[in-house]
Amino acid sequence: MQNKSVYKIPNGKLLKISLTYSKKNNTINQIRIMGDFFAYPEEAIEVLENKLKKTMLTKDKLIERINFVIKENNFEFIGLDAEGLAQGILMCLK
Amino acid sequence: MTEEWRLLQTKDNTAAVNMAIDRAVMVSNSNKKVPPTIRFYTWNPPAISIGYFQSLEDEVDLKNCKKLGVDYVRRITGGGAVFHEKELTYSIVISESHPQIPKNIMASYGRICGAVIKGLKNLGINSEYKPINDIIANGKKISGNAQTRKMKTVLQHGTVLLDVDVDKMFSILKVPNEKIKDKLIADVKERVTSINHILRKEICFEDAATAMKKGFEEEFNVKLVQGSLTKEEIKLAAKFEKECFSSKDWNHRR
């Protein structure tokens, strides 16, 4: 399944997600995270896109995984956060 | 003694050349070949720059760009799509460890925007920093800014609007929902302002640049000395222009 979402993060920026997922396993196959936010370093988003593959499409699992990757790599996001990202991803399922 | 920084004024370059120069100066400063550098520049032809994380085809109507002779480029900084026509664009390149630059990214946005705010003040315009990355005057946006940090070096570039043509801007930018396009245009007209609009007279690039030069000198307590790109920077910029900013691979990567 493939779907897109557009989500304005509260107090943040406009997030656009393009998601390919397995409906059977309820997991991410491929994800593109786009928008007018900031990430330091910029490569953080590509790392996160790779690390999100096979993650369960539930709010808790997504937030946990995103926060783990941020912490593990010392990434800094501005105008974007784990909750907003999880919300944008889950909106692709509707 | 007052610290001296380099000032560059490079008018009328293409989008790819402008982004290539910013990156070349960043590399050069990171290698300690040049002092902290402030650049004021314009875009010819007019151009759309998109943020590093944006999708070119999602944001920009490429057919209309071609029709209207508008250039496009992906920046190395995040942030949103910007239509560059009647504006002064600035960039600052400085070491992350320079005592004038706060380590905290948001604080450093505020500090650098402080120079633009002082520059606007020199033109008689009161403005303030509005996080995340805007400067507002009379409650409306007059400047947008974007920062990246690489190779222990800060690059922040931003626009200072001399004038704005919102209708033209929206003929090039795509909107998520065509049905609300008219409302969106009306909203943006309400939310964006420019130097010419506030002062009710036309300010040229040179006058704006003089005011901004003073603004940067006041904010950072430095002297800006007019300089030029080094031979190495010119070579590097040509390389970045060709291999990166004018390439389909780069501009269409998202």
For B10-58, the pLDDT digits (tens) are 999 999 999 999 999 999 999 999 999 999 999 999 999 999 999 999 9
Using a CB–CB cutoff of 8 Å, tell me whether B151 touches chain A.
no
Contact A54, A28 (CB under 8 A): yes
Using a CB–CB cutoff of 8 Å, tell me whether A39 touches chain B.
yes
Each residue's pLDDT tens digit in chain B (254 positions)? Answer: 899 999 999 999 999 999 999 999 999 999 999 999 999 999 999 999 999 999 999 999 999 999 999 999 999 999 999 999 999 999 999 999 999 999 999 999 999 999 999 999 999 999 999 999 999 999 999 999 999 999 999 999 999 999 999 889 888 998 877 778 888 888 888 899 999 999 999 999 999 999 999 999 999 999 999 999 999 999 999 999 999 999 999 999 99
Task: Please return the burial class of A74, using the count of CB atoms within 10 Å of its CB with bins 0-12, 13-18 and 19+.
Answer: exposed
Residue linked to tokens 């303030």: B128
**Side chain identity, residue B172:** I
Using a CB–CB cutoff of 8 Å, tell me whether A79 touches chain B.
yes
Considering only alpha carbons, which residue of chain B is nearest residue A78? B132
Contacts of A76 in chain B (CB under 8 A): 105
* Number of domains chain A contains: 1
| DSSP calls for B196-222 | HHHHTS---HHHHHHHHHHHHHHHHTE
B176: which 2 tokens? 């998520």
SS3 of residue B246 by DSSP: coil
- The rounded mean pLDDT for chain A is 96
Q: Cβ A38–B133 below 8 Å, yes or no?
A: yes
Q: Does the pLDDT of residue A94 top 80, yes or no?
A: no
Question: For residue A8, what is the domain's CATH number?
Answer: 3.30.390.50
What phi and psi, each to the nearest 5 degrees, are found at residue B20?
-70, -40
CA distance B93 to B85: 23
Q: Which of residues 204-243 of B touch A (CB under 8 A)?
A: none
Using CB atoms, pick whichever of B53, B55, B105 lies closest to residue A40.
B105
Task: Summarize chain B as % helix, strand, coil (round to 5).
Answer: 40, 30, 30
Using a CB–CB cutoff of 8 Å, tell me whether A68 touches chain B.
no
CA distance B65 to B193: 23
Domain extent at residue A83: 2-91
Task: Please return the burial class of B183, using the count of CB atoms within 10 Å of its CB with bins 0-12, 13-18 and 19+.
Answer: exposed
Residue A73 confidence class, pLDDT cut points 50, 70, 90: very high
Considering only alpha carbons, which residue of chain B is nearest residue A11? B132
The CATH class of the B3-251 domain is: alpha beta
CA distance A38 to B77: 8
Using CB atoms, pick whichever of A6, A32, A40 lies closest to residue B254.
A32
Using a CB–CB cutoff of 8 Å, tell me whether B176 touches chain A.
yes
B71: which 2 tokens? 């250039």
Q: How far is B55 from chain A (nearest CA, A)?
A: 7
Residue linked to tokens 């939310």: B191
CA distance B224 to B222: 6
Residue linked to tokens 């929902």: B177
CA distance B21 to B18: 5
Q: Max Cα separation, chain B?
A: 60
Which residues are bridge partners to A11 per DSSP? none
pLDDT by residue (tens digit) across B49-79? Answer: 999 999 999 999 999 999 999 999 999 999 9
Contact B112, B216 (CB under 8 A): no
Nearest to B221 by CA among B100, B92, B93, B96: B100
Nearest to B20 by CA among B87, B61, B66, B71: B71
Contacts of B76 in chain A (CB under 8 A): 42
Using a CB–CB cutoff of 8 Å, tell me whether B106 touches chain A.
yes
CA distance B225 to B27: 20
Using a CB–CB cutoff of 8 Å, tell me whether A14 touches chain B.
yes
> pTM of the predicted model, to two decimals?
0.95
**Side chain identity, residue B14:** T
Nearest to A9 by CA among A64, A77, A94: A77
Contacts of A78 in chain B (CB under 8 A): 78, 105-106, 132
Q: Cβ B54–A40 below 8 Å, yes or no?
A: no
Using a CB–CB cutoff of 8 Å, tell me whether A10 touches chain B.
no
